[in-house]
Structure 1
């Protein structure tokens, strides 16, 4: 018998996992894989790349960033359309029964791949940090930035592993992809430099819509907590419980970055 720490990093997840996603690329096996990837992300962006850039000038990444941001707009727009199309005009959010893991309808299996693609785009988000380091924009690599970019891919893996068809998961997908379309549109335009940035008056609203996202998902999660039937409460609390934490972190960032600035003017 495997030692308990090893078991909970490996075989445990296949035993409790959704059989429909067990064989999806990088989903199979234990949580150690995703934890290793996120550890590598932190090592590269906080140690290796900063050491590389220490005695170098900031790179000009304008073209690369524009291409990257445009690609992310297209990817998230596609995922948003798919997510909206699988919400049955919002009726799925009124179903508080734990989704049937034996449902292998064509529509369900197709949407599982859409959710897997959504998870992949959260890894692409990690390039945000790489660009910050290469441009020597260290002030933008805040605790909020690192925590958000590190935790979301793990939560997405957890949702794929346990039950990706849960309405709370799909609600997050709808909100998050829409926000990323807006956000990466802003970044694509901002990559042209000060000549364009002065017209982007709506920057502060990027943070505000993310706060609204966590308020919506957190409120729905609270309703679901009291009305649900059949949900595994341990993993439900782990996943949904991140919403108030993200809400607090983003609200604090908004308050420090924009509200104080407006009062000082």
Structure 2
């Protein structure tokens, strides 16, 4: 028990010491105050802004993915724990993109889309700001880049979808919207398998397993409530 407490203390101390920790705190305060802001303001459209923003995020994610893949190919293994220049650049770009993606929530607040600001949404954005910071400064390695590259690919698809729908607000959501969540769930399954192998045979941190399990649970629950349960109700 004492070892577990010490481990949590060490993790907490490390996270608080990250450069992005103040950003995360400000982000959470902004989310907490958003209902008060929405009571005294009118919603903005921001359609053109959303088009440019989402396609930009999709492009940055594509650059991150390609850089991470090149770094892993140069390393020769997806379990290696030594970095190289290509990976450092990709991890830096990934870290920057996670800060940029916090604008997702700001746009939701400005557009009065409070229903979209769920626990999953806030947990995902806040945690990724810290984890991308931690990865860039401490572990820009092929072992971590494997999950990073898959996540970047998912965000290429995700932000393309958002940009596409922002361009065509009257045409409704594309028929492949549901598949985006399925791709995200597949991502976490693959990440977990990779993390388990890495933990058992290559000395990976157990936190990778814990975080991956939480994301898999949250996204699976969202998928069930949004699609499976809804269909049963119909």
Aligned match for 1:209, one of 178, 183, 187 = 183
Distance in 2, matches of 1:30 and 1:258, equals: 37
Q: In the alignment, is residue 71 of structure 1 matched against residue 56 of structure 2? A: yes
For residues 1-265 of structure 1, what are the structure 2 equivalents within 5 Å?
31-47=17-33, 49-88=34-73, 91-93=76-78, 96=79, 99-100=81-82, 108-167=84-143, 169-198=144-173, 200-228=174-202, 231=203, 236-265=205-234
The runs of 4+ residues in structure 1 deviating greater than 4 Å are none
Q: From the CA coordinates, give the structure whose radius of gyration is larger.
A: 1
Alignment check: 8 A CA contact 1:189 1:197 kept:
no
TM-aligned CA deviation for residue 191 of structure 1: 1.1
Alignment check: 8 A CA contact 1:155 1:239 kept:
no
Give the aligned partner of residue 7 of structure 2. none
Alignment check: 8 A CA contact 2:185 2:219 kept:
yes
Alignment check: 8 A CA contact 1:122 1:153 kept:
yes
Name the count of aligned residue pairs. 226
Indicate how the Cα distance of structure 1 residues 238 and 91 shifts in structure 2: closer, same or farther if over 3 A, else same: same
* Runs (5+) with no aligned partner, structure 2: 1-9
TM-score, L = length of structure 1 = 0.78
TM-aligned CA deviation for residue 113 of structure 1: 1.9
Indicate how the Cα distance of structure 1 residues 30 and 129 shifts in structure 2: closer, same or farther if over 3 A, else same: closer
Distance in 1, matches of 2:121 and 2:16, equals: 26
Distance in 1, matches of 2:41 and 2:28, equals: 21
Distance in 1, matches of 2:114 and 2:37, equals: 14
Alignment check: 8 A CA contact 2:18 2:134 kept:
no
User: How big is the alpha-carbon RMSD for the aligned residues of Structure 1 and Structure 2?
Assistant: 2.5
* Runs (5+) with no aligned partner, structure 1: 1-7, 14-28
Alignment check: 8 A CA contact 1:69 1:184 kept:
yes
